Amino acid sequence: MQTIVVDTDQIRLLLADAVREAIKDKLPALVQRATQKPYLTGKEVQDLTGWSRRTLQHLRDTRQVPFVQDGRKILYPTEEVRAFFEARSVRSIWVGSV
């Protein structure tokens, strides 16, 4: 068995590097979630997606896109709309050379 001796300064450097990497990986998503609205209007979803009003209505009517309705007001949960897109994203695989 090998024994490794690490002094306090080395531990601080290792810890600082680990914290820096964790912040670099997680901070953008945390800032985005903290600053985004919890719900989007139909117009905001249309602007975000490029869908027409009719396409959005069809997706809603066929229960393909999540929504919340209070009387005539219809809102779309921001996180669930993002999840809708992520679930349907197609990853391309590049094969060959240019």
Are the CB atoms for 40 and 75 separated by under 8 Å?
Answer: yes
22 and 65 share one domain: no
Which residues span the domain enclosing 16?
Answer: 8-36
Q: Given a cut of 70, is residue 97 above it in pLDDT? A: no
> Cα–Cα distance between 47 and 33 in angstroms, integer?
19
In a shared domain, residues 43 and 83 = yes
Residue 71 confidence (pLDDT) above 80 = yes
- Same domain as 79, residue 58: yes
Number of domains in the chain: 2
Which is more confident, 95 or 37? 37
Q: Are 65 and 56 in contact (CB under 8 A)?
A: yes
The yes-or-no verdict on residue 72 having pLDDT over 90 is yes
In the structure encoding, which two tokens stand for residue 64, read together? 């393909």
> Is 3 part of any domain?
no
pLDDT confidence of residue 63: 94
The Cα 51–Cα 95 span in angstroms is: 31
> Average pLDDT of the chain?
88
Q: Are residues 47 and 74 in the same domain?
A: yes
pLDDT at 98: 57
